[in-house]
């Protein structure tokens, strides 16, 4: 009986998936909506009745329903790089020249549309979608699988002769039709309409309720395949291959993708789409050129940010003119004062523009702005548009040039501008409201003290209620302080207090970054922490001692000296120390010599440590990382899916293999253990 039901369920799943594939991937309508819906309903009923046959990739999951409160952070199997941008033919020719210096033969390009959406990385294992992760910071992204399952053109199960395990990358987009339909519905419901497809796609993919995502009908274009077992030699071939596996491929007939033999032909493709893009049923913001041959791509390699074998040609931004109604000044977390233009609302690139950043006093002087001028505004990819120039022909003689303010608009303190810097600052860090709130928001943020449930709204609420006046006050907050506040429920108060308590175990380098010292970002904080080992030593370091540290320049050194000579900041640090935050680097077992003189090969994928971290750790412990297995190899750190040839060789040469788990135990690095177990650590003293 149960076998019979299982078969019935599986048959229904196959049938529905096939209709789905025909419709959303191949554009064929082979079944009526009514018949499709009744099959789906039958399947739903069977799945509810027999939950033992549940399958996360059943076509019924496409209608959503799963609620995700927090999207877990997931490490990409391969870093998600970005593309370098170009805006002119000359830059494209320079790109070709750079490549020709390295590749000594002729080569072809794959030309593709640059879809204007939100990047996504899909992992398939044994023919099934197992994970969908946003780009994030390129190394780690957010797991949005439940939402991505609702996108009909993304196969949940593959067909044909697919690779056992791979990641496939693409762009989630809104077609104009789906976007229009959504906005029409919102208008009808009295909801505010969305301004552009890209931002809406990006917001939608991170919604908690996947059934809302399902109702919005997102789409996806795929363009990159990543696997240790990739056996193709051309970028263009990727499209043929993945379409055999059931993915939607860009249309060759419509010239969505083209392989060309010269840069002139690539320019023709660019020019064609610059004119034709208005007719596309979705937004693109440029064209991507990729060196077609994969072995050439490998030879060219990548920088930390982008591959050398690809470039994006960005179409020129749309430009409009409008009235400059006023200039206001915003004060940021570090006291930086930014002039902002208030514009007469105008349509530009799918949004209504009301404000534009003017960046700083120099920019303001360069533009020679008068309130009442007609200005040209452009949107060049960034969210905030820019004023490009004044329409001088339209200027009235009665207008006078706007002058940069001299006092902080928020607290009245005199503004200063340091030599060599473009920005004006309000130096009243201790009592200027946006600086206080900004510094607290920075302190609690991700990659810093990472106190969950402490968003801008909470900071505002606590500041308004005089519960927070600086970052140290955070550690004096109690449950009883929070509970009387508007909109604070018991559960969120308990969680916030626990998260604050947990943050005391954050390592010194992050605490240092969290302090929000001007010019001390994540990397600089790491460098300083590793060099000086404790805040006491860092505070005493002279300008000379600071600049001696690799990559610490005078600007950073001056900023540090300024910060540590402010008594009020010292007072805050003293309090943070008393509350138990880490102000010293915990002694690390890993700077030992356990790998001294050893040649170590790293192979495969690792779940809890990045390859770079792993290599770092080996070197810090005296080992040498080598790329190929030979008789000189002493040890292989073997991750998941280690290269088969390496494995055979290692076995033949009788070389010790060490699993990820054993390696982590071996080095017993408290830093790694901490990042790994941060959420499972027990209660820490308050």
- So which residues are the catalytic ones? 114
Which one of the spans 45-53, 78-86, 367-375, 453-461 is the region binding ligand IVH (CB under 6 A)?
Answer: 78-86
375 and 322 Cβ atoms separated by less than 8 Å: yes
Backbone angles phi, psi at 159, to 5 degrees: -120, 170
Ramachandran class of 286: left when φ > 0, alpha when ψ lies in -120 to 50, beta otherwise: left
549 and 527 Cβ atoms separated by less than 8 Å: yes
In the complex, least distance from residue 378 CB atom to ligand IVH, rounded to whole angstroms: 18
In the complex, least distance from residue 638 CB atom to ligand IVH, rounded to whole angstroms: 27
In the complex with ligand IVH, the residue whose CB is nearer, 111 or 520, is 111
| Residue from 149, 162, 143 nearest 68 by CA | 143
Which one of the spans 79-87, 386-394, 454-462, 587-595 is the region binding ligand IVH (CB under 6 A)?
Answer: 79-87
Backbone angles phi, psi at 61, to 5 degrees: -70, -15
Question: Under the criterion CB under 6 A, does residue 622 sit at the interface with ligand IVH?
Answer: no
Q: Strand runs (DSSP E) across 76-218, as ranges?
A: 85-86, 109-115, 118-125, 128-134, 140-142, 165-173
In the complex with ligand IVH, the residue whose CB is nearer, 114 or 165, is 114
Q: Which two tokens stand for residue 112?
A: 């593709």
Site residues (CB under 6 A) for ligand IVH, limited to 258-297: 288
CA distance 299 to 103: 8
CA distance 58 to 156: 8
632 and 650 Cβ atoms separated by less than 8 Å: no
Are β-strands 140-142 and 319-331 bridged in parallel, bridged antiparallel, or unpaired? unpaired
In the complex, least distance from residue 261 CB atom to ligand IVH, rounded to whole angstroms: 19
Q: Which two tokens stand for residue 421?
A: 């810097």
Q: Which ranges of 465-553 would DSSP assign to H, the alpha helix?
A: 479-482, 490-502, 508-514, 522-532, 535-540, 543-548
Which one of the spans 108-116, 173-181, 332-340, 599-607 is the region binding ligand IVH (CB under 6 A)?
Answer: 108-116
In the complex, least distance from residue 13 CB atom to ligand IVH, rounded to whole angstroms: 31
Site residues (CB under 6 A) for ligand IVH, limited to 436-495: none
In the complex with ligand IVH, the residue whose CB is nearer, 117 or 385, is 117
Burial grade of 59 (CB within 10 A; 0-12, 13-18, 19 or more): buried
In the complex with ligand IVH, the residue whose CB is nearer, 86 or 210, is 86
Question: Under the criterion CB under 6 A, does residue 310 sit at the interface with ligand IVH?
Answer: yes
Contacts of 448 (CB under 8 A, 6+ apart): 442, 506, 510, 513, 514
Cβ neighbour number for residue 360 with a 10 Å cutoff:
19
In the complex, least distance from residue 106 CB atom to ligand IVH, rounded to whole angstroms: 23
In the complex, least distance from residue 622 CB atom to ligand IVH, rounded to whole angstroms: 34
Which one of the spans 107-115, 227-235, 405-413, 467-475 is the region binding ligand IVH (CB under 6 A)?
Answer: 107-115
In the complex with ligand IVH, the residue whose CB is nearer, 62 or 140, is 140
Query: Which one of 12, 119, 173, 182 is in contact with ligand IVH (CB under 6 A)?
Result: 119
In the complex with ligand IVH, the residue whose CB is nearer, 223 or 508, is 223
Please name every residue paired with 499 in a beta bridge, in sequence order, or none if there are none: none
In the complex with ligand IVH, the residue whose CB is nearer, 307 or 453, is 307
Site residues (CB under 6 A) for ligand IVH, limited to 511-570: none
Query: Which one of 13, 76, 114, 198 is in contact with ligand IVH (CB under 6 A)?
Result: 114
CA distance 629 to 547: 41
Query: Which one of 83, 525, 546, 638 is in contact with ligand IVH (CB under 6 A)?
Result: 83
Question: Under the criterion CB under 6 A, does residue 312 sit at the interface with ligand IVH?
Answer: yes
Q: Strand runs (DSSP E) across 292-350, as ranges?
A: 310-314, 319-331, 336-348
Q: Which residue sits closest to ligand IVH, CB atoms considered?
A: 119
Site residues (CB under 6 A) for ligand IVH, limited to 338-377: none
In the complex, least distance from residue 615 CB atom to ligand IVH, rounded to whole angstroms: 21
Contacts of 376 (CB under 8 A, 6+ apart): 319, 320, 321, 387, 388, 389, 390, 391
In the complex, least distance from residue 307 CB atom to ligand IVH, rounded to whole angstroms: 5
In the complex, least distance from residue 119 CB atom to ligand IVH, rounded to whole angstroms: 3
Which one of the spans 81-89, 177-185, 212-220, 321-329 is the region binding ligand IVH (CB under 6 A)?
Answer: 81-89
In the complex, least distance from residue 237 CB atom to ligand IVH, rounded to whole angstroms: 15
Which one of the spans 157-165, 199-207, 305-313, 617-625 is the region binding ligand IVH (CB under 6 A)?
Answer: 305-313
Task: Please state the separation of Cα 476 from the chain's center in Å.
Answer: 33
Site residues (CB under 6 A) for ligand IVH, limited to 567-606: none
Question: Under the criterion CB under 6 A, does residue 112 sit at the interface with ligand IVH?
Answer: yes
In the complex with ligand IVH, the residue whose CB is nearer, 123 or 435, is 123
In the complex with ligand IVH, the residue whose CB is nearer, 223 or 583, is 223
Query: Which one of 59, 224, 349, 438 is in contact with ligand IVH (CB under 6 A)?
Result: 224
In the complex with ligand IVH, the residue whose CB is nearer, 307 or 409, is 307
Query: Which one of 36, 206, 300, 307 is in contact with ligand IVH (CB under 6 A)?
Result: 307
Which residues in 258-290 are b (16+ Cβ under 10 Å) and which e?
Answer: bbbeebeebbebbeebeeebeeeebbbbbbbbb
Question: Under the criterion CB under 6 A, does residue 300 sit at the interface with ligand IVH?
Answer: no
Q: Which ranges of 190-327 would DSSP assign to H, the alpha helix?
A: 197-204, 210-216, 235-244, 263-276, 294-300
Which one of the spans 114-122, 180-188, 454-462, 601-609 is the region binding ligand IVH (CB under 6 A)?
Answer: 114-122
# residues near ligand IVH by CB under 6 A: 14
CA distance 117 to 507: 36
CA distance 48 to 39: 14
In the complex with ligand IVH, the residue whose CB is nearer, 116 or 660, is 116
Please name every residue paired with 115 in a beta bridge, in sequence order, or none if there are none: 284
In the complex with ligand IVH, the residue whose CB is nearer, 132 or 636, is 132
CA distance 145 to 72: 10
Site residues (CB under 6 A) for ligand IVH, limited to 151-180: 171
CA distance 522 to 525: 5
In the complex, least distance from residue 630 CB atom to ligand IVH, rounded to whole angstroms: 31
Q: Which ranges of 131-262 would DSSP assign to H, the alpha helix?
A: 145-148, 176-189, 197-204, 210-216, 235-244
In the complex, least distance from residue 133 CB atom to ligand IVH, rounded to whole angstroms: 13
Query: Which one of 15, 57, 82, 299 is in contact with ligand IVH (CB under 6 A)?
Result: 82
Helix (H), strand (E), coil (C) string for 282-296? ECEEEEEEEECEHHH
CA distance 386 to 404: 18
Query: Which one of 81, 280, 346, 594 is in contact with ligand IVH (CB under 6 A)?
Result: 81
* Interface contacts to ligand IVH, rule CB under 6 A: 81-83, 112, 114-115, 119, 171, 223-224, 288, 307, 310, 312
């Amino acid at each position: 009986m149960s076998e019979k039901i299982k078969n019935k369920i599986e048959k229904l799943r196959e049938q529905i998936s096939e209709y789905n594939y025909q419709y959303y991937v191949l554009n064929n309508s082979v079944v009526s909506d009514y018949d499709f819906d009744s099959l789906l309903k039958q399947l739903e009923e069977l799945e509810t009745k027999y939950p033992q046959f549940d399958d996360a990739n059943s076509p019924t999951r496409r209608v959503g329903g799963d609620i995700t409160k927090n999207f877990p952070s997931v490490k990409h199997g391969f870093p998600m790089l970005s593309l370098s941008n170009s805006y002119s033919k000359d830059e494209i020719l320079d790109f070709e020249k750079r490549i020709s210096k390295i590749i000594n033969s002729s080569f072809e390009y794959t030309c593709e549309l640059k879809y204007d959406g939100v990047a996504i990385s899909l992992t398939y294992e044994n023919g099934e979608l197992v994970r969908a992760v946003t780009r994030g910071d390129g190394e780690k992204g957010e797991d949005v699988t439940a939402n991505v399952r609702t996108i009909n053109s993304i196969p949940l199960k593959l067909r044909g002769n697919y690779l056992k395990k791979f990641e496939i990358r693409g762009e989630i987009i809104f077609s104009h039709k789906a976007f229009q339909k959504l906005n029409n519905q919102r208008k009808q419901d009295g909801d505010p309409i969305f301004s552009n497809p890209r931002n809406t796609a990006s917001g939608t993919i991170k919604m908690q309720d996947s059934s809302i995502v399902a109702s919005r009908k997102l789409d996806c274009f795929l363009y990159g395949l990543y696997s240790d077992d990739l056996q193709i030699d051309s970028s263009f071939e990727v499209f043929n291959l993945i379409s055999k596996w059931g993915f939607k491929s860009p249309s060759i007939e419509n010239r969505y993708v083209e392989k060309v033999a010269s840069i002139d032909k690539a320019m023709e493709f660019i020019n064609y789409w610059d004119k034709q893009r208005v007719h596309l049923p979705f937004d693109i913001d440029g064209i991507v050129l990729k060196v077609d041959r994969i072995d050439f791509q490998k030879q060219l390699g990548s920088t930390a940010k982008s591959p050398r074998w690809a470039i994006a040609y960005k179409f020129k931004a749309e430009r409009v003119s409008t009235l400059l109604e006023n200039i206001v000044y915003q004060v940021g977390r570090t006291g930086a004062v930014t002039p902002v233009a208030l514009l007469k609302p105008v349509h530009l690139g799918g949004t209504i523009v009301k404000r534009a950043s003017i960046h700083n006093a120099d920019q303001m002087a360069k533009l020679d702005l008068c309130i009442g001028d007609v200005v040209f505004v452009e949107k060049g990819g960034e969210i905030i548009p820019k004023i490009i120039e004044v329409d001088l022909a339209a200027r009235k003689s009665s207008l006078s040039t706007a002058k940069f303010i001299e006092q902080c608009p928020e607290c009245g303190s005199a503004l200063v501008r340091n030599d060599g810097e473009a920005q004006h600052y309000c130096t009243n860090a201790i009592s200027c409201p946006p600086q206080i709130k900004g510094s607290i928001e920075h302190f609690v943020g991700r990659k810093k003290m990472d106190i969950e449930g402490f968003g801008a709204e909470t900071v505002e609420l606590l500041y308004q209620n005089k519960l927070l006046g600086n970052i140290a006050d955070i550690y004096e907050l109690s449950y009883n302080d929070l509970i009387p506040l508007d909109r604070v429920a018991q559960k969120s108060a308990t969680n916030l207090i626990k998260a604050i308590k947990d943050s005391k175990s954050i390592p010194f380098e992050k605490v240092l970054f969290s302090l929000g010292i001007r010019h001390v970002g994540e990397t600089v904080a790491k460098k300083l922490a590793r060099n000086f080992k404790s805040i006491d030593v860092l505070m005493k370091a002279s300008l000379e001692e600071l600049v001696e540290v690799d990559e610490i320049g005078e600007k950073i050194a001056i900023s540090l000296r300024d910060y540590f000579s402010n008594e009020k900041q010292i007072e805050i640090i003293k309090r943070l120390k008393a509350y138990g935050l880490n102000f010293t680097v915990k002694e690390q077992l890993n700077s030992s010599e356990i790998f001294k003189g050893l040649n170590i090969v790293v192979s495969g994928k690792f779940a809890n440590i990045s390859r770079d971290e792993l290599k770092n750790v080996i070197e810090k412990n005296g080992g040498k990382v080598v790329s190929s297995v030979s008789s000189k190899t002493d040890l292989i750190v073997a991750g998941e899916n280690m290269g088969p040839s390496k494995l055979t060789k290692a076995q033949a040469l009788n070389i010790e293999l060490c699993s990820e788990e054993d390696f982590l135990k071996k080095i017993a690095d408290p830093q790694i253990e901490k990042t790994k177990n941060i959420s499972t650590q027990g209660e820490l003293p308050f």
